Amino acid sequence: MLNLFVLFSFCFLISINGHGYLFEPVARSSAWLVDPSFKKCCTYSGHMEMFCGGVGHQWNTNGGKCGICGEPYDRAVKLFEKGGTMYTGKIVKTYIQGQQIDVKVKLSANHQGYFEYRLCNIDDNPNFDATQECLDRHLLTIANTDSIKYRDIVQHGSDMITVRVQLPLDVACQHCVFQWKYTTGNNWGRDPTTNKSGPGLGRENETFMGCSDIIIVANSPTTTLPPILISPTTTMTTTSSLTSKSTKYWLVPSPKHWSVLSTIMTTTMTNANLSSWSSLLIAYERGDDVIYNGMKYQCVTSHRSYAGAEPGPLTWALWRKIE
């Protein structure tokens, strides 16, 4: 009897401590750990418990549904979704279109199962948050595979787990929501497809979620785009004694639409005068030097500029500070 009690107690402790969170790109509920600007508004002691209210509540009350950031689906106003008291919408990471990114998750106890990653572009709906329907339409693959599930979780134990994930080749956004979903494998169940029984094979497994706000910068001016109508434009050329190179400008209704090249302007500059960084969708090339806020930066990844991608700590993938 004592042995059974000890075994039950051990399993219970594992269950209540089997928590985890999305560390990079850091989840809204955990951002206060790495960014001081979140501490005052958004310190949340339960950031490792974003498990949909618990497996029983998720499945018995909400039919398996969950808030996009891991809060109970039936919570009227969710803390970390738009409209919630701890929602800021602040961008925590900038990536490049089509990039393979390292996603980091911290687990305090490993319950096997698998990770999934999703993406939702909310540029067209800036007054709304992502929806699970949108996220489900954009499941990301594990880099260099065709798989949408990362299953090698058990080999890491209770550790930081880094998984390389492939961003879509056709998505660039000023505001995308990135979602991590961890379906654990510790509950006994039956797979409805194969009819096999075992740990994690059923539908009703504990689920953890994390959502992050990110930017994905377009990587080239040759992105395939849907047909759009544009007004006739003109081509302007300016010259001076020292002509350095052509700089491409893009005419768009708003930065969220990566539109058709409409104007090519040949710009000039001298070695003594660096150009100031501009947000006007300029095609910066690797090695270009600019001035921003009195500091000198060098482009490390070719891209198009826009408001929000200015040189600084958050855009380390695009710019590096130089003396």
One-character DSSP codes across 228-264 = --------EE---SSEEEEEEEE--SSTTS---EEEE
What pLDDT tens digit does each residue of the chain (323 aa) get?
445 444 444 343 334 445 889 999 999 999 999 999 999 999 998 898 899 999 899 999 999 999 999 999 999 999 999 999 999 999 999 999 999 999 999 988 767 889 999 999 999 998 999 999 999 999 999 999 999 999 988 777 677 999 999 999 999 999 999 999 999 887 777 777 788 887 767 778 899 999 999 999 998 654 444 444 444 444 444 443 333 343 333 333 344 444 333 333 333 333 345 789 888 778 888 889 998 888 899 988 888 787 778 888 778 778 888 97
Length of the chain: 323
pTM of the model: 0.64
- Given this structure, which CATH class describes domain 12-217? mainly beta
Q: Extract the tokens encoding 240.
A: 């001076």
Q: What are the residue ranges spanned by the domains of the chain?
A: 12-217, 236-322
CATH 2.10.10.20 correct for 236-322: yes
Which H or E run contains 175? Answer: strand 173-183
pLDDT in tens, 107-135: 887 678 899 999 999 999 989 999 999 99
SS3 93: strand
pLDDT in tens, 60-111: 999 999 999 999 999 999 999 999 999 999 999 999 999 999 999 998 876 7
